[in-house]
Structure formats: structure tokens, C-alpha cells
Amino acid sequence: MDFISLNLVSVQFCIIIVTLAIIVNIAYSTIQLGISPMPSTKAARTIMVQWAYKYVQDMSLSTPSTKPVAIAELGAGWGGLARQLARQLNQFDSKSTPQSKSIQVIAYEQALCPWLYCCMLQTIAPIKNLEFRKQNFLAQDLTAFSLYLTYLYPQGMQAIAKQRQRQQIQATPLISCAFALPNETLIKKHILQDWLNTPVYWYEGVICQPSANNGLS
């Protein structure tokens, strides 16, 4: 076996090892967190970003002094939603006064591989007002944020509902893709024209009485 052939075998072996490591890590994260890092669809990202941008516009026009300074994505996955939102908010900032502070997007992701992928993208194509944090958002103080976006799963939404009650942030709007938020009044709902008829929800402000079987006792 010549030198070139040996190098090719080594490269192929390294690719196989890295691929297996990624698969094992994603499988472990899926078991640990209860869900795989599923990317949101383009249609879902578009409507969620539109709603968030409109909210920022409305707040800034009605009460400029209360312009949102930070928006959180709870579970960033592969970073598509956070990056699209941050780019859109950069356009809003460019229309504001030069002295205005950029609206920050803080995206939380606990799984290692998706977080590393997000950081890699941020290194290759940085967005100034975007930060990815490898943290469990359920263990963080979220009271400083003006808006939340999320795409999780039913048990994850129950955990968010508990957190909002515990930190008394139910009045802060939350946009959710696909899964409803227990015990809070739905302000609006949009059904995507996809094969699953995926709903997108907006929650804000009013608290409902918990039902007996909602798992939030």
C-alpha cells in the first residue's frame, strides 16, 4: 500500500469515527432531553419571525423607551430560527437611530452537536446581535427578555409553563411552533399550509385555571 492510499484510508477512517461520534452524541442527547434536535420548517420560521418583528415594531412605535432589548429562543436546535430572526432584527436596528442598542437574540441549546454546529455557523458567518448559549434554559433567569420563541414538545411546553409561573413572566409573550402552552390564554393561532397543518401559537398575559389532568401540579 503506497503513501497516498494509506492517507486515504486514514481519512476515511477518521470520517467514519467522527460520524459515529456525532450519531452517538445526538442519540444520547435525544434520550437525555426527550427529543431530537429537529429543525423548524421555512414556513414556520417565516411566520414566527414576522410575528416577532411586528411585536418589536409595535412596542417601539407605541413606547420607544420600552423597545425590547433581548429575545430568547428556548431550544435553538440547529440555529435556523435564531439566525433568521437576528438578521431580521438587524434590519430593524438599521432603521432606528444610530445610538439605539441592538436587539439581542439569545438562543439556548443544551445538546452538544447542534450547539457546536450553531457556533461554527456563527464563526463562519457571524451575526452581531446573536449569541448561542449551551445552557438548560429551564435553569436560567429569563425575566430580562421581552419575547420568547420555542419549538419543543408537549413535556417541554409543560416545563416552560411551570417556569413562567415560577418566575412570574406569564405576561411576556411567547411564540410556539407546533405545541400548545398549558394554562395560558391563546392570543392568536396560525395554521401552516404544510402536510401536517402545523399550528403556530402566540401566548401573552392572561392565565387560565389549570385543569385536573394537565400535569402541572
* 117/102 Cα distance (integer angstroms): 24
Bridge partners of 186, per DSSP, are 203
pLDDT at 98: 46
What is the value of pTM for the model shown?
0.81
Can you give the residue ranges of every domain in the chain? 1-33, 39-207
Bridge partners of 184, per DSSP, are 207
Q: What are phi and psi of 200, to 5 degrees?
A: -120, 130
Kindly write down the DSSP assignment for every residue of 88-156, as one continuous string.
HHHHHHHHS-TTSPPPEEEEE--SHHHHHHHHHHHHHS--TTEEEE-S-GGGS--TT-SEEEE---HHH
Contact (CB, 8 A) for 94 and 171? no
pLDDT digits (tens, 9 = 90+) for 79-89: 999 999 999 99
pLDDT digits (tens, 9 = 90+) for 19-65: 655 555 555 555 555 565 678 899 999 999 999 999 988 887 776 65
Angle CA(75)–CA(201)–CA(78) in degrees, nearest 5?
Answer: 25
Residues of the chain with pLDDT under 70: 1-37, 63-68, 93-101, 205-217
pLDDT at 212: 41
Contact (CB, 8 A) for 46 and 88? no
CATH C-level class of 39-207: alpha beta
